[in-house]
Every structure is written in C-alpha cells, then in structure tokens.
A = this chain, B = another copy of it.
C-alpha cells in the first residue's frame, strides 16, 4: 500500500460544503487502498482575518505572537475535515504542526522546516486512519508555534511526503494544472501534462502562482513527484483518472519534452526599475551600488549596465515593487554620496515576461525569435536577462498581455505536441 499525500488550499477548504467535497475525494482514495495523509490550509479569508485582527492591536505585529494567532486557521480546518471524514464512515485523526512533529527553525512568520518526526503519523496510518495535518505551521525546538509564511502549506505537504517516503504528493488547487501561460491572458493557453522540475522552478520564481517556490525546491531536493490538479472537479471521478490528471512535475528527462523548445511563458507586474544615470564606468561599480541594497535584504532581480560616453555608464536594476521606496532610500543615503549619479530614475510601469523551456539548452535562436516577435508588434525591450533555460525581457507594462499572446503564438504553444 502506497502512502499518498494530498494537499488542499484555502479555496478548496473555503466552506463547509467544499470541506465535505474534500472529504469525499479523500475517502475515495482511502477506499482505493491508499494510506492517506492530507495537509490543509486555513479556510480562504481566515488567515487574512486573523492578521487584520492582530494589526488592529499591533500595527507591526510581534512575530512570535502573530504565529500563535495565524496558525489557528489551519487548526480549525484539520478538525473540520476530520469530522467530515467521520461522517462518511472513514476513521480520521487531525494533528496540528506541533502534534505532527514538524520541527522548524525559530524564524517566526517565515520558518523553515528542519525535520519531521513522522512516528505518530505513521502509527495512525498503520492503524488504518486517514491523518489530517495542519499546513503552514510547525514548532521550534523550544516548543514555540511557528509558521512557514504565505503559501507554506504547499511546503508542508511536500515535506510530509518526504518524511513518509510517499509515492506522490498531489497539490489540489483552484486551477487544474500548470499552463503554457496564464489562461486569463491567452485563452489558447494549454495545460501541460508534464513539466520538468527545473522548468517548474523557473516558472514559480517568475510569477506563476500555481506552486510556492519553496515547495518546488523541497520536492527537487528529495525527488518527490508532485502533481498539481483541481479540487473543484467532481470528487467522485475514479481514482485512476484523477491520478493521471493535472500536471506532473517530473524528475525524468522526458523524451517528449525534448521536442518542445519552450514550455511556458510567465509574466509579472510585481517589479519596478531603478536607473542610476551617469555613474563612473569603473571596476567594482556594480558592487558599490548593489552591495548596500543587498545589505538591507532587498531582492534585486534583473541587472543591466549600458556603457555610455566618456567613461560613464547607466546602471539599471529591478526590485520588488513593494520595496521601491526602501531601495531608493538606500540609494540616496548610501550609494549616491559615493557614486554621484547625475540622476536616479524610477519606473514602476514595467512588466517582466519570461520564456521558459528546457529545450533552450540545446537549441539556439530562442532569444532571437523573441526579439523578432516583439519588434513586429512594436514592443520595445527595456532589459534582457537570461539563464540556461529562460529568457526574461522587461517591457512597458501596458504591453504585457500583448507580448505574452504574441510569444505564445510564435512558439506554437497552443498546439498539441
């Protein structure tokens, strides 16, 4: 009997009716002979409600106490799902993060899982029970409640799968898999049956919200097969049909994948662009500019340096939009007095469009086709960044949807393989 981990997000657990549907689905898998562990999020809206309550008391909430408050949302979910299974005649037992033996570091609100003592969970599985585990949370060595940060329930699911040596971890969500691009932007977007782990990692880091990036990293580290599929379909479809649906994140070099140059297109408006105009074009200038920014824990994503005339250069980089003001303060106070730029320009009206594909490794010409496609649509490229399996371009934000649709067609993503 294989151990299977299901993970259900907040939308899937969003109401008593939906929780009953989750229970029907889990009961079906249990009756098909699987040993079932189910990791769940808080009911949708609940975590936000709890955080808002905390902020009414303390606008910048104490991290330890915020975790005490925020972790209750998942504890409610596990109890409710265990009850829903019992109503269906399935023996079930719930465990919060502490009870499930999920040990984390003490970085409240963004803790990392260090180890899982899965003995208690295993014992209940061997007794024939479905085990429900609270996602998003754990405890540190001193017994304090910790949370893993937003989206951490995906990571909890994968980590439980690792600890239990599960055959597969199924992430049930409100979309039915990973698409070639966001279907709200390109209606011809196609669901992928399989995607490589590396591509998924790029997509997750590039703004695809389907999976939390840390859960993908975790799955990659321990080679847990992950599947993303929809919880909103009929819970009574046969197990074998469901087990083959959605998108599998694979660790094998699928021959089918080799044929595809590009697997998907991600896009985001979450960054803004900062340019230091006319700084000295001397060795070490990049470090002088980005060193202080990094020291303030501001993530820098794309970086471009244009060599100008007379030994000067324009230095441009992007940061998360929410960090723009903080980054500008660092530039003003710590960088400008040293580098003396003629001007510091900020542009929040940008979008990043990224083309991801493991096939790029062995095929030239991808970047070229991107530039050609965008040029023919009259879209100016402001910045370019590449990795082994990815090309990202920054464009004016109003062109984002047009760029995605044009590239989706140019790379033939809408057609079947």
Contact = CB atoms under 8 A, between A and B. Distances in A.
Count of identical protomers in the assembly: 2
A66 interface: yes
Contact of A84 (B57, B71, B93): B57
Nearest to A142: B120
B72 A57 contact: no
What is the predominant secondary structure among interface residues of chain A facing chain B?
A: helix
A79 B69 contact: yes
Nearest to A94: B68
Given A53-B16, A53-B80, A58 B87 contact: yes
Contacts of A19: 57
A68 B68 CA distance: 15
A25 interface: no
A61 interface: yes
Contact of A54 (B69, B75, B79): B79
A83 B50 CA distance: 13
A56 interface: yes
A78 interface: yes
Contact of A80 (B16, B57, B78): B57
A143 interface: yes
Contacts of A64: 82, 93
B62 A83 contact: yes
Nearest to A67: B79
A312 interface: no
A86 interface: yes
Interface string A348-366: 0000000000000000000
A68 B78 contact: yes
Name the residue in A53, A75, A79, A80 with the highest tally of chain B Cβ atoms < 10 Å from its Cβ: A79
Contacts of A56: 16
